[in-house]
Structure 1
Amino acid sequence: MKLSKYVMLALAGLAFAACSNEDAEQNSLSNGKSVSISIANMAKPDSRATGSFSDEIQKIPVADISNLKVIFLAGDQISSTTTFDKGTNVDGIYTFHKVPGDVNAVAILGNTDKVITVHSSFSTLLDAIKKDLIGQQSTPNDIVVYGKSTSWSASGSCSDESGATSTLYDAGQITVQPLLARIEIGGIACTDLGESSASEVALYKELTLSKIGIDNILTAVDGSETISYPATEQGQKDWNAATGWYIDPFNPEIELKDKDALPNVYVYNVAPGAAPRIILTVANGVFNNGVSGNLDMPQYVRASSYTDDKGTEITAFEAGKIYKVNYAFTCNNIKPWIPVETICVKVDIVIPNWTIVNLTPDFD
């Protein structure tokens, strides 16, 4: 597979390495080992922080990749060797020479300026990058991309420019994809606003929406702390010591007076792992009988669980996927939020070809 021109530019200046297919066991290991990899093109979604949903039908273009880093690992430790004789051929196979013998994995990081320290933990580095990204409202153009291979197979011998030979290990093709998942919340509407009801539950004819956000945002990384800076410029609130709540105020507040869905889409970066919960804050409401809901406000519409179209519960989000939520609710879904209690929400999920996951809430 040929690499995109962006990857080629990122790796410009690499020298060609001549390698043979002789029996690996016949070659000297005195100079360490050589490792060859190829990097698959990475696709990106076309979405933005507010506006329309990502288009699941459109062709997904190749993403820009900059600041490409190839990191060799011995277990979880970043290798002490930071400079390699690197080579490439026209087919996009990259070969690194004199790799330390204890290296057993290779990782690719792109679009990050994070300082990489040798002899440090790679998983700790990834956690730090995730926390930085969660604290930003980045676009898919510049999202950090990541790939890793632990697949090693001796495939012959390799000689570098000086003529030194070593065993050549093939790390295979590394698929590079976004490090995080993204959640797009749109289609915000109250589907029975203004309707009459024969039940004892009074329905609203008007609603004032003040905030939207997600909680459970950091437990997917390491669960140890909240983040001290905002998800966007509008602010962030820590709901409690265990989880962080990114909360974005509507400025001005949004008045719902009909059943039409709001046009904007609100986007968050989320770590792969435990699915975040979506919270919509209702600051005020007017019941059908004209009585204001001020005495009972604010209240909340909270999505706390997801199921797919087969009824399977989705408890975790996956990296490289956009989760699209049509946040349509009913008046009965507007309830007080007591942190120790939950409101059950069923969400239908449809997974298109590569990254977009459609979520249509079904509120209990």
Structure 2
Amino acid sequence: MKLNKLVLVALLALGATACDKNDENDALTAGKKSVVLKIDGITSGSRSTGAASGETDKKITLSNVAIFFAGDDNIYKVETLENTETEKWEKLIGQEGVEYHNLPKAVNAVYIVGNVKEDLTKLGSVQTLKKQILGIEGEQAMDNITLFGEDKELESVDALHSGEAHEEELTMYNAVVELTPRVARIEIGNITCTDLGSEFSKLDLKVIGLLNFYESVQLDGTNPTLLITEDNVLEPTPDAVAEEGEYIFGKDDKTWGWDEFSASLDDTTPYNPIIDEEKQIEGKFVYNFIPNDDLKVRMYFNATTATGVPHSDNTLTAKFAPQNGFQAGYIYQVDLEFTEKDLKPWDPNAQICVNVSVTVKDWEITSLDPIYE
């Protein structure tokens, strides 16, 4: 999916009261700058089941912004704006733009965080800003995904007048900032066992979800942490007990990453979850995740043989090889079609192997003596 680009045009200018060019004073007192800020191409304005994304869902929703005016590693000023501030917000996303004045001359970069969930206005350095931790559990709602962008190379443009408020020509700079999410999204649906009935009479899907996923990442997209791997996730049997560092698939506190429910499959109708019971509207299993090329999707079944016996081949694990690997800002859509032979035990390495040898006994010949009556 082509990333949605949010273009920020910043017009930075020396004010009419700027100091002399030869002034050797500190940069903070050597003049002031003004910024006209505009953002284009946005939409004003779950759980793990939801409607599949279509062509109309490519625009990323933006509900608020925190704008950081920085010089090198120092943050000199922070401005916040909500989309509820209608007049100013419309200027921000429209042609007019919002003006910010009296910025220190030392400002040479602009950083923006979109869809802010906590107060970031007290941060003093760019490095501290970039190291803010995003928990993936809080990044599941598509209309509230944290966005981040930066421009550290402001481009000088021709001088213009800023309007009635300023009579002097202003030296201006353009800053182009691409706001992108830190997460990718996977949408899973049309679950079908195409040859059901060959060995199994019934497949009841009990749990679906992700394996090999990170739980947090820094705002700048680096240092993902707390990887939940297939090695520390247990089969959800009735007697399963998780020790420290282990999790039971479909349970515990990883509910954003997997779903526990009950649904029976057949070999003709692809299964999709119902997201609106009243209207019987189908959706997909949807999960936002921190990109990791070893991400897997697992389904756990109650599998029953033709004679009604539970079968140990009850687990389906799917891995993927997307071109260029999983990337933030992409929506990956998956139809899960499989056959009975794709089902394996929860731990394929734990299968019991029996070496069967057969000795054929020779016929024994014995003579019978008749007894006459």
Paired residues for 1:76-225 under 5 Å: 77=73, 79-82=75-78, 91-116=95-120, 117-120=122-125, 121-125=128-132, 128=133, 130-131=134-135, 134-136=136-138, 138-155=140-157, 156=159, 167-172=171-176, 174-195=177-198, 203-218=199-214, 221=217, 222-225=223-226
Equivalent pairs counted in the alignment come to 286
Q: 2:41: which partner in 1?
A: 41
Q: 1:55: which partner in 2?
A: 54
Q: 2:321: which partner in 1?
A: 306
**In structure 2, C-alpha distance between the alignment counterparts of 1:178 and 1:158, rounded to whole Å:** 35
Secondary structure at the residue paired with 2:143?
A: helix
Q: 2:327: which partner in 1?
A: 317
Alpha-carbon RMSD: 4.6
**In structure 2, C-alpha distance between the alignment counterparts of 1:340 and 1:164, rounded to whole Å:** 76
Between stretches 211-220 and 159-168, larger displacement belongs to 159-168
- Give the C-alpha shift of residue 318 in structure 1: 2.4
Give the counterpart letter for 2:335 in structure 1.
Answer: N
Is the Cα contact below 8 Å between 1:226 and 1:242 reproduced in 2? no
Q: 1:279: which partner in 2?
A: 298
- Give the C-alpha shift of residue 215 in structure 1: 2.2
- Give the C-alpha shift of residue 159 in structure 1: 7.3
Is the Cα contact below 8 Å between 1:34 and 1:158 reproduced in 2? no
Higher CA-based Rg: 2
Change (3 A) 1:61 1:276: closer
**In structure 1, C-alpha distance between the alignment counterparts of 2:308 and 2:169, rounded to whole Å:** 84
TM-score for both structures, normalised by structure 2: 0.60
Is the Cα contact below 8 Å between 1:43 and 1:60 reproduced in 2? no
Q: CA-to-partner distance for each residue in 1:189-244, whole Å, 9 max, x for gaps? A: 1122113xxxxxxx3231122111112321773343369xxxxxxxxx99985999
Give the counterpart letter for 1:225 in structure 2.
Answer: L
Q: 2:260: which partner in 1?
A: 250
TM-score for both structures, normalised by structure 1: 0.62
Change (3 A) 1:323 1:64: closer
